[in-house]
Chain A
Amino acid sequence: MNKEKILKPKGKSFLMGDEAIVRGALEAGVGFVSTYPGTPATEIGDTFSALAKDAGIYFEYSANEKIAMEAIIGASLCSIRGLVAFKHFGLNVACDSLLPAAYIEARAGLVIVVSDDPSGWSSIQSEQDSRHFATMANIPIIEPADQQEAKDLIKYAFEISEKFKTPVLFRITTRVAHVSAPVELKPFPKPTLKGDFQKDIKKFNAFKPRITEMHNQLLQKIETLRKEFVDSKANFIVNNKKNSTGIICSGVSFLHVMEILEKNKLTIPVLKLGTIYPLPTKLIIDFLKNKERVLIVEELDPFVENQVAIIAQTNKLQIEIFGKNIIPQSGELTPAIIENAMTAAFNIKMVARNVTLSPSKGDIPRRFPVFCPGCPHRATFYSIKQIVPDAIFGGDIGCYMMGIFPPYFTQDFQYAMGAGLGISHGINKILQLNKSDKKNIAFVGDATFFHAGIPALINAIHNKANLLLVIMDNSITAMTGLQPNPGTDKTGMGEPTSKTSIEELVKACGANSLEISDAYNLKQTQAAIKTQLEKPGVNVLLVRRKCALLMLKESRQQGIKRPTFQVDQKECEHCGTCYTKFSCPAIKHENGITEIDQTMCVGCGVCAQICSAIKINKK
């Protein structure tokens, strides 16, 4: 992490959208930042983690998003500006505490950064459009289109938050978060963490009859914001002239639209919105007036479109509105998709695009993400498949989710953080009622267990489930890039802290039994699985082994050279177990020969437990 490019006093830096948000927050005088890692918002937290000490602010990786949200609410009650960042599903978790935060006026800026992920580049759960949360919470949304705006509008979000005493939802998507571009920097103030909690019991509680009074104030606030946003610098019109057609867009779609207009030398007026809830009614009316057709370009749901349609209808504007009737509501938008929509809406001809070959997908072997060489999860899944290949496998969110792929198939379903155990419990109750002897196994990683697994475990125990919970503890939050969690001995600011013991938690929850094994030790793990499956009630197997990426990183730092393994060609019987059932990407089979790629092997030695022809490379 190159901290300098974010911390330098002024000039230009090449920043990813997520990094630009960090810089913008520093320029806005943020003091307190919390997060739970989730891509495409992960880099916001990681960047703060790397520079919080140098910048003089407080940063933490919280145990989950709800707690991250609560932490910045606490800071803002002490008059410290707070920012929280997470991916779309993170906002679902945080929502419980966000909604009351709209009622109770904070004492300093509260900005919630949420990153949606159209096309699900880094997400499996859904293609959620998080903007809807703002209408439910009655809070404003600010949305940047590029990296410069990501930086500049974060400052604006803090201004709005403090002026109107409201949390502000700062919404980005993958193509803002994960695009890098040059960003012009402004100086930032020395942050302050000087704050205190002043009691005001009436103000910070929403008991009846205050609740309806506060709700009315909140609704009034939205109407005031609607007027405020008419003159907002986040909204502007390009090609502002009298024209029968127009385009309204927000986010990265604006950049796609501008590329198409310039390439085709078109001068259709474009209203670019940066404040997308509540919509500035007067600005919209002025733009729609005297136009016959308008195209709304936005990713995912017709969020802006529906608001525009309501404004047009209530103001009796005779205008044809195009949007999701010709632009897909699912998947990421591209210039080509938008170009087609513009052609359809405005009946214009565009410059032809290059005709190209399409790769014939069937001919090219698939390359899905895999467990890294040396990954303990591969070893654990291999062990499970040896003992109970047909159990019902409850999947969860973490690197182990790649168990959905062949040859493992050890994630029969995946829903949400901690849901693997919760759903396995529901399935198990039905199996019990039907006197089925099928085995239920739920998987959860260390970070996910801390995040949402503990209540699910307590519930399964209390409600008398019969299942095995396998906690795959690789001692780090691996999927998002090695962030600390309550099970590690360092905080997000690099300070030493006490590790939370998973085994003590499991015992305290009241599990019937707990076994611990080393994922790299196949015999031990397989024996433990057998033992645990024979017991009634909720039993836990804690499979522990450090993430291979973390192990390699530490080996490099300490100058330790890792051994490698190789196949003794004289002893290889060509059974294929190593590459078809264990399936380490370092083991390759081509032209009848099975070999271990010496550039990929990290020397975990698990394959050597499967086959005696695999031996340590003594060279």
Chain B
Amino acid sequence: MFNVLITGVGGQGVITLAEIIATAALLSGEDAKMTEVHGLAQRGGSLQCSIKIGKNIKSPLVSNGEVDLLISLEPLEALRVLNLLAPTATVVFDTHKIIPISVYSDKTTYPAVEEIEKTLRAITQNIFLTNGTDKVQELTGNVMALNIFMLGFAFYKKTLPTELTEEILLQSIKQTIGEKHFETNQKIFKAAALG
């Protein structure tokens, strides 16, 4: 069993990314179960979505300490799920901060990205970070495809199960999002090879 957790802010494409990974798992001959762990799909709240990949999957829920790979589309959101990470987990996250408006009313501080990385290192050394948001904005003029970039980044850093090949992932992107935007999505996926 390989458990993936996608976290981010509602509206960033967390669920779509989870769907692409689950569909790729099926294309590779595995089974998969996917569910939102927490949050609303839109409207800027914290959002977490899990995918269990393997055979004979029973419970759809990932328990504490069972996540093998965390892909976080936003740095702070990686911190919220430390309890779910396995001691051997890999963490991939985007460094572009989306500051929650609560910091102004609660008078809390959004930690520096270096701090976030340091906290994660207490659990695992397998950490990869990138500024995908800026790169996607540069490539397409908006940030809608950040989820595709992060998938490419996770793939090129070899953090995904080996059955999920580049070909299978691209096929899954085409199947999940559709032919219409496939060329752009393929370009973004491949651009992530450069980090």
A378 smallest CB distance to B (angstroms) = 10
B114 at the interface (CB under 8 A from A): no
Interface contact B101-A583, CB-CB below 8 Å: yes
Interface string of A333-373 (1 = CB under 8 A from B): 01110000000000000000111111100011111111110
Q: B23 near A14 (CB under 8 angstroms)?
A: yes
In whole angstroms, how far apart are the Cα atoms of A481 and B57 in the complex? 30
B35 touches A14 (CB 8 A): no
A sample of 11 inter-chain contacts (CB < 8 A) reads A2-B175, A14-B26, A180-B32, A262-B56, A336-B63, A354-B64, A365-B102, A372-B42, A579-B104, A588-B97, A599-B142
- Contact: A407 with B108, CB < 8 Å? no
Give the CA-CA distance A357 to B65 in the complex, in Å. 9
Which A residues fall within an 8 A CB radius of B?
A: 2, 12, 14, 121-122, 175, 178-182, 252, 255-256, 258-259, 262, 334-336, 353-359, 363-372, 399, 402, 406-407, 481, 549, 576, 579-580, 583, 585, 588-590, 597-600
- Specify which chain B residues have a CB less than 8 angstroms from the CB of A589 in the assembled complex: 99, 104
Is B129 engaged at the interface, CB distance under 8 Å to the other chain?
no
Give bound CA distance, A399 to B97, whole Å.
24
**B38 x A121 contact (CB < 8 A):** yes
For residue B40, CB closer than 8 A to chain A, the reply is yes
* Interchain CB contact under 8 A, B79 and A371: no
Q: Are A580 and B100 in contact (CB under 8 A)?
A: no
User: In the complex, A399→B10 CA distance in Å?
Assistant: 14
Give every chain A residue within 8 A of B127 (Cβ-Cβ). none
B99 proximity list for chain A (CB < 8 A):
365, 585, 588-590
Using CB atoms, name the residue of chain B closest to A146.
Answer: B60
The answer to whether A179 and B64 touch (CB under 8 A), given A256-B59, A354-B87, A367-B102, is: no
The contact of A365 among B59, B108, B142, B175, by CB within 8 Å, is B108
**B162 on the interface (CB 8 Å rule)?**
no
- Across-interface contacts of A255 in B (CB, < 8 A): 58-60
Knowing A180-B22, A364-B76, A365-B102, the reply to whether A399 touches B43 (Cβ < 8 A) is yes
CB-contact partner of B43 in A258, A262, A372, under 8 A: A372
Chain A residues whose C-beta falls within 8 Å of the C-beta of B143 in the assembled complex: 599
Chain A residues with CB under 8 A of B38 = 121
Binary interface profile of B, 33-58, with partner A (CB < 8 Å = 1, else 0)? 11110111111111000000000111
* Bound-state Cα–Cα, A572 to B33, Å: 50
Q: Is the CB of B63 within 8 A of A334?
A: yes
Most chain A CB atoms below 10 A, which of B9, B98, B176 = B98
CB neighbours (8 Å) of A369 from chain B are 10, 39-40, 43-45
A356-B65, A369-B45 known; 20 new pairs, CB 8 Å cut-off, are A14-B19, A14-B23, A14-B26, A121-B36, A122-B40, A175-B35, A179-B33, A180-B32, A181-B32, A181-B57, A258-B58, A353-B63, A356-B83, A359-B81, A364-B76, A366-B100, A369-B39, A371-B43, A407-B101, A599-B137
Instruction: Check B31 against A182 for contact (C-beta < 8 Å).
Output: yes
Max chain B Cβ within 10 angstroms of own Cβ: one of A359, A406, A580: A359
A367 contact from B42, B76, B122, Cβ within 8 A: B76
**Closest CB in chain B relative to A173 CB, distance in Å:** 11
Residues of B within 8 A of A122 (CB): 40
Task: With both chains docked as a complex, state the minimum distance between the C-beta of A599 and any C-beta of chain B, in angstroms.
Answer: 5
| Cα of A599 to Cα of B145 in the assembled complex, Å | 12
Q: Which residues of chain B have C-beta atoms less than 8 A from A262's C-beta? A: 56, 58
A356 with B64, Cβ < 8 A, contacts A2-B176, A175-B35, A367-B45 known: yes
Cβ–Cβ contact B26 & A182, under 8 A: yes
Q: State how many angstroms separate the Cβ of A365 from the closest Cβ of chain B.
A: 4
A357 contact from B45, B63, B111, B123, Cβ within 8 A: B123
Interface assignment of B160: CB less than 8 Å from any CB of chain A: no
- Write the nearest CB–CB distance from A28 to chain B, whole angstroms: 25
Q: How far is the CA of A406 from the CA of B104 in the complex (A)?
A: 9
Q: Is B118 an interface residue (CB 8 A)?
A: no
Chain B residues near A178: list those with CB within 8 A.
35-36
Q: Among A358, A359, A585, A597, point to the contact of B101 (Cβ < 8 A).
A: A585
Q: How far apart sit A136 and B40, CA to CA, in the bound complex (Å)?
A: 33
Chain B residues with Cβ under 8 A from A121's Cβ?
A: 36, 38-39
Asked, given contacts A2-B176, A354-B87, A549-B42, whether A579 binds B101 with beta carbons under 8 Å apart, the answer is: yes
* A122 nearest CB neighbor, chain B only: B40
Q: Determine whether the beta carbon of B82 is less than 8 Å from that of A367.
A: no
Q: Known contacts A367-B100, A406-B105; decide if A354 and B66 are in contact (CB<8 Å).
A: yes
Contact B32 A366 (CB under 8 A): no
In the complex, what distance in Å separates the CA atom of A335 from the CA atom of B66?
12
Shortest beta-carbon distance, A595 to chain B, in Å?
10
Q: Which residue of A lies closest to B33 (CB)?
A: A181
Contact: A175 with B61, CB < 8 Å?
A: yes
Q: Which residues of A contact B46 (CB under 8 A)?
A: 367
A366 touches B102 (CB 8 A): yes
CB distance from B15 to the nearest CB of A (A): 10
Cα A438 to Cα B108 in complex, Å, equals 34
| Inter-chain contacts of B33 with A (CB < 8 A) | 179-181
B30 to chain A, nearest CB (A): 10
